[in-house]
Chain A
Amino acid sequence: MINKFMTASVLALTLAACGGKEAPKTTNQASDAQQTTYMRDQIKIVGSSTVYPFATTVAENFGRTTKFKTPIVESTGSGGGLKLFCSGLGANHPDITNASRRIKASEVGRCADNGIDDIVEVKVGYDGIVLANSRKSPQLELGLRDVFLALAKKVPDGNGGLQANPYKTWNDVNVSLPKVNIEVMGPPPTSGTRDAFVELAMEGGCKTFPWVKAMKKTDKPAYKELCHTIREDGAFVEAGENDNLIVQKLNANPSAFGIFGFSFLDQNADSVQGSIVDGKAPTFENISNDSYPVSRSLYFYVKKDNVSKVPGITEYLAEFMSDKASGEDGYLAEKGLIPMNDVEHAKWKTSALGLEALTLKH
Chain B
Amino acid sequence: MTEYALTTSPSLKRRHAKEARFKWCGRIAIMIALGFLVLMFSAIIFRGMGAFQQTKISLEVTFSELIIDPSSARDPQELARANYKPVLTAALAKTFPNVTDRNGKKRLYKLLSSGAVFEMGKLVSDNPDLIGTSQTIWLSASSEVDLFMKGKIDASLDENLRRLSDADIAYIKTLKSGGMIKKKFNTAFFTNGDSREPEMAGILGAALGSFFSLLVCFGIAFPLGIMTAVYLEEYARKSKLTDLIEVNINNLAAVPSIVFGLLGLSIFLGVFHIPRSTPLVGGMVLALMTLPTIIIAARASLRSVPHSIRQAAYGLGASKTQTTFHHVVPLAMPGMLTGTILGMAQALGETAPLLMIGMVAFIVDIPHGVTDAATSLPVQIFLWADSPEKGFVERTSAAIIVLLMFLILMNLLAVFLRKKLERRW
Contact = CB atoms under 8 A, between A and B. Distances in A.
Interface of A: 1-2, 5, 8-10, 12-14, 16-17, 20-21, 23-24, 27-28, 42, 44, 49, 52-53, 55-57, 59-60, 63-67, 69-70, 72-75, 91-92, 135, 241-244, 263-264, 266-270, 331, 335-336
Judged by DSSP, the binding face of A is helix
A60 B195 contact: yes
Contacts of A24: 368-372
B411 interface: no
B363 A70 contact: yes
A12 B224 contact: yes
Given A13-B220, A20-B371, A92 B161 contact: no
Interface string B356-371: 0010111111001111
A59 B364 contact: yes
Contacts of B216: 16, 20
B388 A264 contact: yes
Interface stretch (B36-44, B86-94, B268-276): B268-276
26 contacts: A1-B241, A5-B228, A8-B224, A9-B291, A12-B224, A20-B370, A23-B369, A23-B371, A24-B368, A49-B386, A53-B387, A59-B362, A60-B196, A64-B364, A65-B81, A69-B365, A70-B363, A70-B365, A72-B277, A72-B373, A73-B361, A74-B362, A92-B275, A244-B386, A267-B389, A335-B388
B390 interface: yes
A336 B390 CA distance: 13
Contacts of B368: 24, 27-28
A10 B154 CA distance: 57
A57 to B, nearest CB: 4
Given A23-B371, A72-B277, A75-B360, A16 B386 contact: no
A113 to B, nearest CB: 18
Contacts of A49: 386
B170 interface: no
Given A42-B373, A270-B162, A335 B364 contact: no
B248 interface: yes
A55 B196 CA distance: 10
A20 B364 contact: no
A92 B273 contact: yes
A251 to B, nearest CB: 12
Contacts of A16: 216, 219-220, 280, 284
Nearest to B396: A244
A20 B362 CA distance: 23
8 tightest Cβ-Cβ pairs between the two chains A and B: A24-B369, A70-B364, A73-B362, A74-B361, A56-B362, A20-B370, A267-B388, A57-B196
Contacts of A69: 365
A69 B366 CA distance: 11
Contacts of B108: none
